[in-house]
Structure 1
Amino acid sequence: MLRSGVTTLGGGAVPDRLAPERYQPDWIPQPVRRHSGGLDTLPVGSPGKVGVLDLAFRRVGGRTELTGHFQKAPLHITRPHYYDPAVPGMPYVMLMMSGGGVLQGDRYRVDVSCEAGASVHLTTQGATRLYRMEHDYATQLVELNVGPGGYLEYLPDPAIAFAGSRYYQRTAVTAAAGATVVLGETMLAGRLARGERHAYTAYCADVEVREPGGGLLFADPMRLVPGDMPVDGPAVMAGFGVVSTLYVVTGSHPAQEVAGTMHEALRGCGLRAGAGVLPEGRGAWARFLGERSPEVLAAFHGVWDAVRRLLLGVPAPQARKQ
């Protein structure tokens, strides 16, 4: 049904997804939080400032279907496509934003449920542009829940932190035993082609992966605040303009095997990069640092392709953004 720009599919009662406690983070790092308030434009909660997506995927017969769908502009999705002949039962879903980018006071939330045995690939329509923010800040919460035997890929395009932007993102994953989650994040330190570099006010991001009971498997925080701390040191951006990370949470293959596959795929990529095992042996991760996005994204695709061949026995498809 369609109500006030919100689409819901499926029966049953709809929870209050538009309540502020749903889309407002319960905790925000101080470098972002200190800029709260003082809006002289549309305040938080105004139409067009709160974007919500709630998607549910279930295995039906020989393929995965979108069985639950709630959206509120500016966030929405395309119709699921099944274009990869190597995995014909896996839908490819593009998360979209009706505006040109993320503005001050924007609050986004994305929830995805991938039930037992289901598989889905999620990506975005293009780079996420974080525009200059003179008042307040912007946030995005992403919650991914994957059931036993489920396989989920969440590989958004890069986030570009424009000069003066203030942004916090938390990606929280709950992975059941036997589930696999392939998660990617890429950040550009500004409009590099224009010579803009680390002119944003604050870029903070958290990745958290938990067991179904709530036990924390690992967390990976990123805090880039050029005015407060060096961001070009060896443990941060190391003088590069692009940082990208690929996490592979899985129990289907030994962590050392996954890390070795990622490491081998990085050979000769020409980037500052490395791979290692995740805590508790729950998979592996790789991080890439480069000067320009084309080289970093090419290396990212190469590692994703190697992981795909290991886990699914098929290559990674080329992106379709049209």
Structure 2
Amino acid sequence: MNNATASDAARLDLSFVRRADRTVIDRRMFAWPFVLTRSFHVDPDRPDCLSVIVQTASGAVHGEDSLAQRLMLGPGTAVCLTNQGATSVHRADPTVRAVETVRLDVASSASLEYLPEPRILFPDAALSQTIELDCATDAYALIFDAFTMHDPCGGARYFRELESTFCLRRSGGEPLLMERTRLFRPDRRIFCGYGAFGSVFIVLPPAHDLRKLQGKLTAALERIKGLYGAVSASPAQAGLAIRLAALDLRYLRQAFENIKPIYREAIVDQLRSENLSATG
């Protein structure tokens, strides 16, 4: 359904609940350019997990766009959300920039994989994006954020501005992690030859062995040629943060594909341990 008016900021507003051992959508609201079609239960390791693909009618982010998303995961739900492909961010007039805000609320025992495809920043693009994640203490989250650059003329023209903020809270408390990045009219020298960049945030309950998980992730990233990666613990033992720089987008995608199964393995192992404790 679409209840937004033309004057509203474009939005996607989804709420998820657990019913009959599966996650389903119980509220879906979207306004142009967002489009939401059928969702699926396709994960053999997590049959309760709902896979959602968000599409955009415009296929790109334009100079004066104002985009807002909210995902609310109820207790015990499991959601994997991605979009239809890498999103182009086109040039903006000198006095404007596109704005995107994403709010993610993950309730007790829920798990969220928020896996948008990378942004492709065209010459003179300007984008300000914010991701706010509020994750219950016993919940899980995997958040991807990435961008690359493209000059259709084959030159070395870059975007005008990129401002990115990630904020992590646990159970509505004070921010545990606040990461901000701002690049304004970047010079090619600051990229040191790399062409694609990404951040990954893994949020886990306190019971997990972060050092062991950090070692697995580091080993997986070291095997990828054309990639520089660093894995560090988040404040208050809330999880792990990963920074990535790649020669081009294919190496960044490979890194994401290596990170995802390690994160899922951590969830499955924890669920098995909890089930054994409950039956024992």
Give the TM-score normalised by structure 1.
0.78
Give the partner amino acid of 1:261.
K
Aligned-pair identity in percent equals 24
SS in 2 for 1:312: helix
- Paired AA for residue 293 in structure 1: L
Structure 2 spans left out of the alignment, 5+ residues = 271-280
**Aligned runs of 1:159-178 on 2, under 5 Å?**
159-178=119-138
Question: How far, CA to CA, are the matches of 1:133 and 1:81 in structure 2?
Answer: 36
Counterpart selection for 1:243 from 174, 193, 197: 197
Take 2:269 and 2:54, find their aligned partners in 1: how far apart are those partners?
A: 26
The answer to whether the 8 A contact 2:16-2:72 is kept is yes
Given candidates 92, 101, 112, the residue that maps to 1:141 is: 101
| 1:85-234 correspondence to structure 2 within 5 Å | 85-134=44-93, 136-191=96-151, 195-197=154-156, 199-226=158-185, 230=187, 232-233=189-190
Output the CA distance in 1 between the equivalents of 2:157 and 2:221.
26
Shift of 1:285: 1.8
The equivalent of 1:38 in structure 2 is none
Within 5 Å, give how 1:61-76 maps onto structure 2.
Answer: 61-76=20-35
Partner of 2:19: 60
Deviation >6 Å, runs of 4+: none
CA deviation digits over 1:139-181, x for unaligned, max 9?
1100000001110000100001110111100000001110111
Distance 1:268 1:261 in 2: 11
1:305 is aligned to 2:261 = yes
- Report the Cα offset of residue 132 of structure 1: 1.1
Cα separation, partners in 2 of 1:53 and 1:201, compared to 1, 3 Å: same
Matched residue SS, 1:87: coil
Q: How much does 1:85 deviate?
A: 2.1
More divergent stretch after superposition (152-161 vs 83-92): 83-92
- Residue of structure 2 in register with 1:258 after alignment: 213
Counterpart of 1:115 in structure 2: which amino acid?
A: G
Who is 2:274 aligned against? none
In the other structure, the counterpart of 1:33 is none
1:63-115 deviation digits (Å, cap 9, x = unpaired): 11111111111112221111222222211101111013111211110000011
Give structure 1 stretches of 5+ with no counterpart: 8-16, 19-44, 315-322
Q: What count of residue pairs does the alignment treat as equivalent?
A: 267
Name which of 293, 303, 313 aligns with 2:249. 293
Q: Is the 8 A contact 1:254 1:283 kept in 2?
A: no
Shift of 1:197: 4.4
- Counterpart of 1:11 in structure 2 is none
Aligned partner letter, 1:253: H
**Alpha-carbon distance change, 210 to 131 in structure 1, aligned in 2, over 3 angstroms:** same
Report how far residue 222 of structure 1 moved.
1.3
Asked whether the equivalents of residues 225 and 231 of structure 1 are also in contact (C-alpha less than 8 Å), the reply is no
Q: Matches of 1:87 and 1:194 in 2, distance apart?
A: 45
Q: Name the CA shift for 1:194/1:302 in 2 (closer, same or farther; >3 Å).
A: farther
Q: Deviations over 1:158-214 (max 9, x none)?
A: 0011101111000000011101110001110234x8635461110111010012333
Q: How big is the alpha-carbon RMSD for the aligned residues of Structure 1 and Structure 2?
A: 2.1
Shift of 1:46: 5.2
